[in-house]
A and B are shown apart, each in its own frame.
Chain A
């Protein structure tokens, strides 16, 4: 199956700092989504971004499908940004099936 690697595995930030999370994948994808799992366990979809760039408030994401990676940018981090960030991808042969990376655990300190 497709391999999804996220880096770094852990990230500690001071409030107000900026950061970049990376997602590499091993094959062509037709579906790529970023999720945030907050400390209470809720999974929130951040972006559906199989290609291109999107922004939502302090978060933005870029996917370069031809080079098999996606980046998630967090600017002016807040303590509420803490949690685990997951990248998930789906191959053209089965767009519905998302394979998840192991996640990046982000801790934002006040």
Chain B
């Protein structure tokens, strides 16, 4: 089981780029890296998923180095509405390891 380690919390000013790093030293060959965002009183929302190098969508970018032992979620020019908890998940899409969200990173965007 590839466990993940994330910072418990981060603060950022509005308009800045925010990078949240997730460590997953035991990532397996078939594992993907997935990030979710959760606002208070809502269910998590899928942000981005990747396997290697860089993935970008309209919301965020995901950077994965060659050794894949860590990954960085990058949120460009955050706004107050980006205040949320961000979860990094690592696992095989069809495999037998448990689906584990962990405690996530609580991002607070400051005006």
Partners in one complex: no
Residues of B bordering A, CB below 8 Å: none
Residues of A bordering B, CB below 8 Å: none
